[in-house]
Structure 1
Amino acid sequence: MSRSMLIVLAGLSLALAATGCATSTTRHPVIVSDIGTPATGSDMNASLARPGIVTFQRIRFARWTGGRGTFIDRNDPLTDDVPKGDEEATIYAYVVDHPRFGRILIDTGISADLDTRLTWVMRQGVNNLDIRVEKTMAQWLTGQVVPKAVFLTHLHFDHVGGLLDLPVTTPVYVGSGEAQEQSRANLVLGPSTDAILRGFGPLREWAFQPDASGAFEGVLDVFGDGSVWAIRVPGHSAGSTAYLVNSVDGPKLVTGDAISTRLNWEAGMPQPVTAAARANAWTSADRLRRFAATHPAIEIFLGHQSRTGQREPD
């Protein structure tokens, strides 16, 4: 989210602090996922030795520019030497085609109808982002195979907004605890998330179990064949989920906003999160970086930027 959005939310949170008000990310119903086999980081490592069977594509939907303080924690001494300035951010979605289970999306891009589902406060913040839309989900879907499911990294508007262009019969999967996370900021964010999800069936929550290998908090073999893995990486949000896709042209790691920019990934800069989430955010980012370092062939897809030298999608 942009600096302007964060300022609006911070002001509202301060105003609400005296009342102790907090609410969940969404009031949308949640059920346990119908897919996904609990596994370990060791199982996931072993799967990378096998040839990939799915295809993978990144789609760029929009860009915006925000101050670096949007993406790094300016209150942390680690960021003291990072000069002031702006970072360009991108809204992505990812397409995975499985030979048996069909097409899925990881995150959803953006919809032209998003503005109609936002609260007044959210709308002001988003309008101040100066989002440059390159294509909407509806435009991308023209002539495309309609996805059979959506796997979300988390429930923030810049990752779920494209749902508005998808059939409401599309199953939507989220990380454990994502929908139930309590926050004062959700008094602003929550109603907009509810409005985006309106009409869809219950969110299907990944049924993570503790990772016996200790590599991550939890790992799921989504289709039971080692092709797509869901990885529990809480911190940016309670249910933040990364996805490892063992594609035909090599493994791809989609971090979501567990690591959103090059400053977070390559320079190890901490993100601006609540004090309660800081330890989880740091641990999750460190685990992702360590996992990638162990497997140099993995291509990394950050939440809102490409890595240095990585080609942007057309």
Structure 2
Amino acid sequence: MRPRNLALSLAAVLAGSLAIAGVAGFAASSHDTQKSALGEARPTTDLVALLGQPGPVELETVNSADWAVERGGLVNLKHPTAKSAGLQDGDEPVQVFFHALRHPQRGLFIVDTGVETALRDAPEKSALSGLVRSAMHMEKLKVHAPLGEWLAKQPQPLAGVFLTHLHLDHVMGMADVPRGTPVYSGPGETSARAVFHAAVQGSTDRALEGKPALSEWTYAAEANGLFDGAVDIFGDGSVFALWVPGHTPGSTAYLVRSTKGPVLLVGDASHTRWGWEHDVEPGTFTLDGPRGAESFKKLRAFASAHPSVEVRMGHQH
């Protein structure tokens, strides 16, 4: 998701100068990128054959913080189902998660980053600027498990971070990630352009400070695949990165073959439980609405065809 109020205010201030300069928005981050050396593209159909087999990965989802954001950004309120249900804009309670993956050979990885410790204890020292904290209504954020505190309690070091996408509410804990830790995302996350990035780029860059170049999954586009592409991250079929563009260009879901069964982490391809259960795609926080709706339908079709897969939303239990 993104702070829509901030985007709108920035658009009003910057629209004239952007038009004069011929600039179509700003990049999400100036952080360096590189092709990922981890993972190998595989046909999306390959993962289906593995769903019935026990998985090796221990998976834990941690609620780092409770929050509230605009419902219209999370759910398409113009959808007929949303209209018939009488959904109105207003605060929607959400959570800010990170997911811990413990692989028996590869070690500890996390999907997304929750919230950094400084955002609770000393917000002015956090990666988020004062303007961004205000626009994102951080006064509504109740921190439960900052990433740094959680990491300090783990018996093994963090081997890497897998991002669903690069929006600030998914990298708010990145400052607590040890320097030098590899970070992975879908392609095009840093270069995605929008007006509101003028305000958030600095905060995103500070969150990524001290980390290596962002490693982008090397998806092989599949015109007729279950998803737009898939990467077998560890080469053993235990964790797949699934390309689900729309919310952002490189939005990525993760299929984890956990010790308790397969789990699909959809990220912000579907923020809310209501949206998922009622077949209503996300709302205005999505950069490319039509493509996001297409990815949403692919995820729903996959989950419907494979009911043994547990689905975990981007921001609600």
Relative to the length of structure 2, the TM-score reads: 0.90
Q: Aligned with 2:253: secondary structure?
A: strand
Question: Which of the numbers 279, 300, 307 marks the counterpart of 2:290?
Answer: 279
Quick check: 1:96 aligned with 2:107?
no
Match of 2:116 in 1: 111
Q: Partner letter of residue 124 of structure 1?
A: S
Q: Aligned with 2:173: secondary structure?
A: helix
Q: Partner letter of residue 52 of structure 2?
A: A
Q: Aligned with 1:235: secondary structure?
A: coil
Q: Aligned with 1:91: secondary structure?
A: strand
Relative to the length of structure 1, the TM-score reads: 0.91
Quick check: 1:74 aligned with 2:66?
no
Match of 2:214 in 1: 203
Match of 1:305 in 2: 316
Give the percent of matched residue pairs that are identical in Structure 1 and Structure 2. Answer: 35
Q: Partner letter of residue 83 of structure 1?
A: L
How far the C-alpha of 1:6 sits from its partner, in A, is: 1.6
Match of 1:161 in 2: 172
Tell me which moved more, 129-138 or 273-282.
273-282
Shift in CA distance, 129/173, structure 1 to aligned 2, threshold 3 Å: same
How far the C-alpha of 1:68 sits from its partner, in A, is: 1.8
How far the C-alpha of 1:111 sits from its partner, in A, is: 0.7
How far the C-alpha of 1:76 sits from its partner, in A, is: 4.7
What are the Cα deviations for residues 91-115 of structure 1, in whole angstroms up to 9, with x where unaligned?
1111111111111101111112244
Give the Cα separation in 1 of the matches to 2:270 and 2:139: 20
Quick check: 1:268 aligned with 2:279?
yes
Tell me which moved more, 280-289 or 212-221.
212-221
Alignment map for 1:1-314 (pairs within 5 Å): 1=1, 5-18=3-16, 19-20=18-19, 21=23, 22-81=25-84, 82-84=86-88, 85-114=90-119, 115=123, 116-144=126-154, 145-211=156-222, 213-273=224-284, 277-306=288-317
How many positions carry a matched residue from both structures?
Answer: 304
Native 8 Å contact 1:65 1:129 kept in 2: no
Q: Aligned with 1:189: secondary structure?
A: helix
Native 8 Å contact 1:53 1:246 kept in 2: yes
Q: Partner letter of residue 74 of structure 2?
A: F
Q: Partner letter of residue 296 of structure 2?
A: A
Shift in CA distance, 253/276, structure 1 to aligned 2, threshold 3 Å: closer
Q: Aligned with 2:188: secondary structure?
A: coil
What are the Cα deviations for residues 235-293 of structure 1, in whole angstroms up to 9, with x where unaligned?
11111100000111100000000111023211122322479711110001000010011
Give the Cα separation in 1 of the matches to 2:255 and 2:283: 25
Native 8 Å contact 1:261 1:305 kept in 2: yes
Give the Cα separation in 2 of the matches to 1:285 and 1:91: 20
Following TM superposition, the consecutive aligned residue runs of length 4 or more in structure 1 with deviations greater than 4 angstroms are: 75-78
Give the Cα separation in 1 of the matches to 2:287 and 2:216: 23
Give the Cα separation in 1 of the matches to 2:51 and 2:36: 24
